[in-house]
Amino acid sequence: MRLVILGIVGTVVGLIAGIGIVAIGFMPEQASEQAVNTDRVFEIMVIVTCGIAGLVTAILVAALYLYRERRGETRVAPPVHGHHGLEVIWTAIPAVIVIILTGISWQALNENESGDAGLTVNVWGQQFDWTYDYPDLQLENVHQLVVPVNTKIDFEVQSKDVIHGWWVPAWRQQINATPGQVNKLRVTPTKIGDYKVVCTFICGSGHPVMGTNVQGSIPARIKVVSQADYDAFIAKAQEVAKKAAANPNAAAVKVFATAGCGACHAWGPANSNGAIGPALDALASHPDAENFVRQSIVDPGAEVEAGYPNQMPKDFKSKLSPEDLDVLVKALAGGTHQ
Amino acid sequence: MNVFLRPNLARCLWVTPLTSLIFMSLTLAIRHWVGMTPIFDSQQMLTIGYIAGIFGFLIGIGAFDTWFPWMIGGPTPLHEDHSQHGAYSWRDYFRFNTDHKVIGLQYVATTFIAFFVGGMFAEIFRAELAHPGQDFISTQQYNGFMSQHGTLMIFTFLVPIFAGLGNFVIPLMLGAPDMAFPRLNALSFWLLPLALLIFLSSFLVGSFEAGWTGYPPFSTEGPMGETLFELGIQIAGASSIATAVNFLVTIITMRAPGMTMFRMPLLVWANLATSALVVAATPFIAGAQFMTMFDRVIGTAFFVPSLGGNPLAYQHVFWFYSHPAVYIMILPGFGIISEVLSVMSRKPIFGYRAIAFSSAGIAVLGFSVWAHHMFASGMEPWLRVPMMISTMLIAIPTGIKIFSWLGTIWEGVLQMNTAMLFATGFIFTFVIGGVTGIWLASVPFTYHVHDTYFVVAHFHYVLFGGSVMTVFAGVYFWYPKVFGRMLNERLGKLHFWSTMVFSNATFFPMHWLGLEGMPRRVADYDPAFENWNTFISISAFCLGAGMLFFVYNVIHSARYGKIAGDNPWGGMTLEWMVSSPPPIFNFEIPPRVIGGPYRYGEPGAKHAIFPEEPATTKPEPAHV
């Protein structure tokens, strides 16, 4: 009887504590439909499991208080080896609870991914930045993601080098960018605003700066805007892209952007302003510019600019096709520079 | 005979580099002969030098001093005269020794060294993380320390420590003179310091940076230390498999007369389940690490996407071991808790069979949940829900254990000593880790917190608040048996309370950081998270400082502690029926088991007797 009352009291205290945790709320801003569904599952799980933890803690603490051996005590414990009824109860009730929790999680997962997407965006992870393509709008290598509010968006996440994790905490959604495959993630943003994007998977020495808000962050904040602002953004971006295509360095700029050089290097023609590695605008003044540039790309450790870390990925030799490499080297070394 | 020729560490000092040099020169010669350029390939040299060195070390320490003569039909005196068995002086602990009690102690000492070194690495990077921005160490150094911390703690502390405790206790509990294969047992121990040295030596060539998980392609592109990570895991894994085979055979074939399966102490049951898991699962991580090593060293492309390899395949193979490994690191701890709680409550364990079979249930179910580590990895989407279901189901056998332990202490006569404090403290912290484990099984929730500090908090609650607490409970419980002296209770309680308070202070706030948006494995973070990170770092330093109570206690009490006597806790299992420390060959007369191991509260009841004693109680019916 004592045990039953204690169990009930413990469970109730646990449930109240759980409700308290939910009421305080430890989640960041809720800015997508998925966040609403996920937070609902989270809150139910918190309350239910806090009830169980309360039950266990109450019995544990009470047993330690009631049954600790006191000085001079000669009590003998009852030789009880078990109780089948109790064992059935504490197998069956947790089974029911976890089945319910599985059910609500499954339902939320289905809701999170239901319906057809109104927009597809390709997300590219690379050391140490994110770039975005809008495949239906012929827009590529966009550094800042801009998406319309209240639209179901399919993000197709890929990587150009190692594994990264693309996470937007305010959306409660993340997925890895794995080289060699396309990973799909559905988000329906519900709030206009700027959001940070975080790399969750260790990807090298720049892993921490591959998230926004960190000192020296490389990625831009993600922007959720109204449909009208979104249309204006797309129109402007397409115009810029058209102008870029007319640039004599267009081919080189494309290689430069695709390989992700701009994350670390500033180069005028590509409008990049990365500062982890040296700026590349004055390379033409090098006495043996073409060979020097080529060597610096295929074997970056051979000659490291004073004051900069020897951090440049060593695999561009295999990542760039010989043609792309030629185009890039010529442009950087000043061959086609106007 | 000269000290450099006898089998010992001094012989290792010259045999190890010699074998390395021979094989490295051979490689150079072959490369020159077949005209490969350049003749010197550092990656290859390193791998061959280390592999040869491993065998050189084992030859030096004397692992093959019996097997080599036996293979060629020569005399094997070491086999007949038992001269490698037992410790007669402290020097015997630094030799190839076949006594399970010596090996147990060697294991525990080595793993605790790994624990403290791994802990120091954590303190170093917590110092860096106390404040946003780069303060003491670079990102690369951070990645190195972080990866070493995880690797040492898992592969050279939590997995082998239970092999160490089990080595000492289990043959005694079974009434056996030793393990079934004593020489194999010694070999599996000596692989362990090798693995530790291999991991640590990677600092010399650029430490591995890809975490303890070593996911390609980051790991296949990483510095040379990554090869040593892969090699070290092979060695630690080989040690683990050999020990597990040894435990399986020992438990099945070496039980004393009357020791039926259901009269075995629950630690033995837990070790049986664990050993089965190790034998079945560990070859998978060995395979995964061989494949990544081959990708690095001999140019295969198992996981190189540009050549048609598949990085996701690594994750499946890796977790097919590494999820069961979580149970390898906790099931023996459950066994320790069952022993400690029953003895210290002076009450039989509640639901013996339920606890025994829930271990088996966890071991079997444990093979069907691996992909819950990969919900956000981009694996086949339909696989998520079945993995969520099986993961949730694991909560049931785990719950059975927790409730059975509560049933055990309820109405007991609780002896509140340090071992008991750690055992009950374990229940509290482990429940928190279990609860967040249930949350993480939920796919939508994991899509938010995957690879964040929330996960870091969760696994530190189950591995530190769970496994490490059981290790301490076990050490405080069996220390009197091992050394014949009691640990100081006052220092023990200080150690318990500092561990309990500061481990919660360190790991609990990590939940909030993860929920709010802090990813794991970062050397720097959003300044908004500064306050909690500073708090965590300070708590971590206090947690580390609290371990000094333990170190001092263990060293000081070995010489100056109170004499323990054979059975200081009033335990019934067989290890308490021999002297402390136990005789070199354990039992002069084999004991005869006449009842269950936890017959507390029954007047005059016994688990076992020595045959010349008259049986004071009639044997218990076999069903209990």
Which residues from chain A sit within 8 angstroms of residue B604, using beta carbons?
none
**Chain A, window 19-38: residues with a beta carbon less than 8 angstroms from a chain B beta carbon:** 26-28, 34, 37-38
Give B614's pLDDT tier (boundaries 50, 70, 90): low
Compute the average pLDDT of residues A219-234: 94
Q: Which residue of B has its CA nearest to A208?
A: B522
Cβ contact, residue pair B389, A175, below 8 Å: no
Give B624's pLDDT tier (boundaries 50, 70, 90): very low
By Cβ distance, the residue of A59, A175, A200 closest to B519 is A200
Task: Pick the residue of A157, A167, A314 with the most B CBs within 10 A to test the interface with B by mutation.
Answer: A167
Query: In the predicted model, what is the mean pLDDT of chain B?
Result: 93
pLDDT of residue B197: 96
Which residues from chain B sit within 8 angstroms of residue A318, using beta carbons?
306
- Across-strand partners of A222? A195
Is residue A308 less than 8 Å (CB to CB) from chain B? Answer: no
Domain B97-560 superfamily per CATH: Cytochrome c oxidase-like, subunit I domain (1.20.210.10)
Cβ contact, residue pair B399, A108, below 8 Å: no
Indicate if the pLDDT at residue A32 is higher than 50: yes
Compute the average pLDDT of residues B78-103: 88
> Dihedral of CA B610/B612/B616/B619: which sign?
positive
Residue A225: phi, psi to the nearest 5? -130, 170
Cβ contact, residue pair A95, B413, below 8 Å: no
Cβ contact, residue pair A67, B411, below 8 Å: yes
Compute the average pLDDT of residues B104-120: 96
Cβ contact, residue pair B376, A176, below 8 Å: yes
How far apart CA A312 and CA A317 sit, in angstroms, is 12
Q: Which of A10-19, B472-481, B609-618 has the lowest mean pLDDT?
A: B609-618
How far apart CA B62 and CA B186 sit, in angstroms, is 10
Exposed, middle or buried, B114 (CB in 10 Å: 0-12/13-18/19+)? buried
Cβ count near B452 (within 10 Å): 27
Cβ count near B30 (within 10 Å): 11
Measure in Å the smallest separation between the Cα of B27 and chain A Cα atoms. Answer: 27
pLDDT digits (tens, 9 = 90+) for B195-228: 999 999 999 998 899 999 999 999 988 888 999 9
Q: Which residue of B has its CA nearest to A81?
A: B350
pLDDT of residue B26: 95
Q: Which residue of A has its CA nearest to B214?
A: A202
Which residues from chain B sit within 8 angstroms of residue A75, using beta carbons?
413
Cβ contact, residue pair B519, A94, below 8 Å: no
In this prediction the ipTM stands at 0.90
> Dihedral of CA A190/A192/A196/A201: which sign?
positive
Structural contact between residues B257 and B280, judged by C-beta atoms closer than 8 angstroms: no
Compute the average pLDDT of residues A11-28: 92
Is residue A45 less than 8 Å (CB to CB) from chain B? Answer: yes
Cβ contact, residue pair B444, A112, below 8 Å: yes
Cβ contact, residue pair A181, B312, below 8 Å: yes
Compute the average pLDDT of residues B71-77: 87
Which residues from chain B sit within 8 angstroms of residue A214, using beta carbons?
132, 522, 524-526
How far apart CA B413 and CA B347 sit, in angstroms, is 7
Residue B485's SS3 state is strand
**Chain A, window 201-220: residues with a beta carbon less than 8 angstroms from a chain B beta carbon:** 201-209, 211, 213-216
Cβ contact, residue pair B444, A174, below 8 Å: no
Measure in Å the smallest separation between the Cα of A251 and chain B Cα atoms. Answer: 23
State the DSSP code for B348: P
- Return the domain boundaries, chain B: 1-66, 97-560
By Cβ distance, the residue of B143, B306, B378 closest to A175 is B378
Compute the average pLDDT of residues B137-151: 94
Helix (H) or strand (E) holding A154: strand A153-159
The most distant pair of C-alpha atoms in chain B lies apart, rounded to whole Å, by 82
pLDDT digits (tens, 9 = 90+) for B546-590: 999 999 999 999 999 999 999 999 999 999 999 999 999 999 888
pLDDT of residue A259: 83
Cβ contact, residue pair B139, A207, below 8 Å: yes
Measure in Å the smallest separation between the Cα of A185 and chain B Cα atoms. Answer: 9
Measure in Å the smallest separation between the Cα of B518 and chain A Cα atoms. Answer: 8
Beta-strand relationship, A272-273 and A266-267: antiparallel
Give B506's pLDDT tier (boundaries 50, 70, 90): very high
**Chain A, window 113-152: residues with a beta carbon less than 8 angstroms from a chain B beta carbon:** none
Q: Which residue of A has its CA nearest to B217?
A: A162
Indicate if the pLDDT at residue A335 is higher than 60: no
Which residues from chain A sit within 8 angstroms of residue B605, using beta carbons?
79
Over pLDDT 90: what percentage of chain A? 56
Q: Which of A254-268, B343-357, B513-527 has the lowest mean pLDDT?
A: A254-268
How far apart CA B342 and CA B339 sit, in angstroms, is 6
Measure in Å the smallest separation between the Cα of B344 and chain A Cα atoms. Answer: 10
CB pairs under 8 A between A and B: 286
3-state secondary structure string across B180-212: CCHHHHHHHHHHHHHHHHHHHHHHHHCCCCCCC
Whether a cis peptide bond, with omega within 30° of 0, leads into A169 is: no
Is residue B392 less than 8 Å (CB to CB) from chain A? Answer: yes
Compute the average pLDDT of residues A242-252: 79
By Cβ distance, the residue of A37, A86, A180 closest to B310 is A180
Residue type, A244: A
pLDDT digits (tens, 9 = 90+) for A86-144: 999 999 999 999 999 999 999 999 999 999 999 999 999 998 899 999 998 888 888 89
CA-nearest of B114, B120, B128 to B543 is: B120
Q: Which residue of B has its CA nearest to A80?
A: B348
By Cβ distance, the residue of A77, A105, A216 closest to B444 is A105
How far apart CA B574 and CA B169 sit, in angstroms, is 9
Indicate if the pLDDT at residue A337 is higher than 60: no
Cβ contact, residue pair B350, A49, below 8 Å: no
pLDDT digits (tens, 9 = 90+) for B1-20: 688 888 888 899 999 999 99
Compute the average pLDDT of residues B149-162: 96
pLDDT of residue A338: 40
pLDDT of residue A268: 80
Is residue A276 less than 8 Å (CB to CB) from chain B? Answer: no
**Chain B, window 246-305: residues with a beta carbon less than 8 angstroms from a chain A beta carbon:** 305
Indicate if the pLDDT at residue B621 is higher than 60: no
pLDDT of residue B58: 95
Measure in Å the smallest separation between the Cα of A198 and chain B Cα atoms. Answer: 7
Is residue B22 less than 8 Å (CB to CB) from chain A? Answer: no
How far apart CA A121 and CA B40 sit, in angstroms, is 47
How far apart CA B268 and CA B91 sit, in angstroms, is 30
pLDDT digits (tens, 9 = 90+) for B396-451: 999 999 999 999 999 999 999 999 999 999 999 999 999 999 999 999 999 999 99
Q: Which residue of B has its CA nearest to A184?
A: B378
Compute the average pLDDT of residues B300-312: 91
Query: In the predicted model, what is the mean pLDDT of chain A?
Result: 89
Give B616's pLDDT tier (boundaries 50, 70, 90): low
Indicate if the pLDDT at residue B615 is higher than 70: no
